[in-house]
Structure 1
Amino acid sequence: MIASAVRCAIAEFGGSIGAVFIDYLQQIPLESGGNMAHEVGKITRQIRAIAKDHKIPVFLGCQINRGNQNSAEKRPNRHLLRNSGEIFEVCDQLIMLYRDAVYTKDSSDRTIELIVEKNRLYGKLGTATMLCDLSTSRFLNLAR
């Protein structure tokens, strides 16, 4: 399903596209009523093959478990990914987003943290704090 959509987009845009964005992995229909973690793993491997075959980055959004909602530390980590075993194994980079303003209800806080949990491409892990323009979904350099 995703592979055919990518092929159609490539054909429509003259033989190439710059990237693929998939929002919410857990909403992709499963092929069987079996093990959700196994099915998610199968989908993530298919998505990785699409990226490799077409030499394009694929950005995949997915939900985390809501277990951190009740803890003092709200920042996400890889252990909170739903059905995360295969997702973490397959991905080249895992970058999680965190906005403190969601929990403090401070509408003037425009910062966002990009938490790099896995980085097979460049190796560096850590957190980058940036400004977030929610009206355009852009990340901007944080003025020092």
Structure 2
Amino acid sequence: MIRVVIADDHTMMREGLKRIVEVAADIEVVGEAVNGFAALDHARKGGFDLLVLDLSMPGLSGRELVQRIRHEAPTLPLLLMTMYEDEGDVRQAVLAGANGLLAKEHAGEQFVAAIKQIVSGHAYPTTDVAGSFQSDVKQAREPR
């Protein structure tokens, strides 16, 4: 069973993602966070396999949150979700150490696949950003 924590400041988004996961028998949502600080607390406590992060939440910027999580829980897989594909912000968060990126508009059809791909050790960029960020994701996840 893949255990996931969803961090998004919008209740409707968290509920929608939980409903998508309900159809996958091998994935369960074990926690939620409504801001960056709560997401960081979950990362510190552990006990789950993947953290899904909204790139734009109150409390911490996406890049700063990813950096802090990488410091606190360096091996925790991170899937970033964004409504806005601001290339600079997304690139900074990916380079800070995210394992994957998914545009929220594609969550319905790609969320479960993204979770499984990242938990199995692979990067997951959306098709919208794959060309631009695929090498960045691989570079950021390589051991230094």
Instruction: Return the TM-score normalized by structure 2.
Output: 0.39
Q: Would you tell me which structure has more helix in proportion to its own residues?
A: 2
Instruction: Return the TM-score normalized by structure 1.
Output: 0.39
Tell me: higher relative CO, structure 1 or 2? Use CA pairs within 8 A at least 6 residues apart: 2
